[in-house]
Amino acid sequence: MKRSLVHPHPMLLFWGGRVSLRANQRQRRLCASTSAAAAVKMEALILEPSLYTVKAILILDNDGDRLFAKYYDDTYPSVKEQKAFEKNIFNKTHRTDSEIALLEGLTVVYKSSIDLYFYVIGSSYENELMLMAVLNCLFDSLSQMLRKNVEKRALLENMEGLFLAVDEIVDGGVILESDPQQVVHRVALRGEDVPLTEQTVSQVLQSAKEQIKWSLLR
């Protein structure tokens, strides 16, 4: 006896198709929602506010050689890598009039004065205005300390003041101060508090010269 084939009712096919279509749509919406949530989470991680704004502060001469460099993380862990980065950054910026550059995935703000080039470096998503505030504070502080003679020779003669100023402005990559008046005031106070045993060689030699000069004049 042959079995007769039972054909499903057209309405069952219709509703079954609609159920399958809705299931597929729900699945697609779920995937899209998951992807969007992951993207938002990733973006939030990237743009999460951080106090560690500054990655490095550099001062180079007009040949691109280092006069001062302070790195606040391990982006460039070795001196060789740091020097290569400094040479690259100098080559990219010393002939341009711009104040902001993106280099090696980093945001760089800079300015020049006679034979000096000042750089403040942050991450690629860092606020340029924050970095520029650090740069301007450092430059204006040195300008006051050097009596507006911001050039290589004067800077080399006052390196201890430069180190103190940088420490007042940034600590471990965290911006502490953006007012040059406050920086200069604190540097002056710290300079007065430095004991003789911690004075630099240049300070000791200068003191000795002054004593010899006055002894000869007597």
pLDDT tens digits for range 72-110: 999 999 999 999 999 999 999 988 878 999 999 999 999
Q: For residues 144 and 12, which has the higher predicted lDDT (pLDDT)?
A: 144
Distance CA 61, CA 94 (A): 10
Q: Which amino acid is at 195?
A: P
Kindly calculate the radius of gyration of the chain based on its CA atoms and give it in whole angstroms. 31
CB atoms within 10 A of CB 143: 15
Which of 22-26, 59-63, 205-209 is least confident? 205-209
Identify the pLDDT of residue 109: 96
Residues 57 and 201: their CA atoms lie apart, in Å, by: 24
pLDDT at res. 52: 83
Confidence at residue 201, expressed as pLDDT on a 0 to 100 scale: 46
User: What mean pLDDT comes out for the span 49-67?
Assistant: 91
pLDDT tier at 190, thresholds 50, 70, 90: confident
Alpha carbon separation from 103 to 7, 54, 75, 88 (Å, rounded): 69, 15, 13, 9
Q: Are 36 and 30 in contact (CB under 8 A)?
A: no
Tokens encoding 164: 């103190």
Statement: the pTM of the whole predicted model exceeds 0.75: no
Helix axes 128-145, 159-169, angle to 10 degrees: 150
What average pLDDT does the segment 209-214 reach?
51
What does the pLDDT read at residue 31? 55
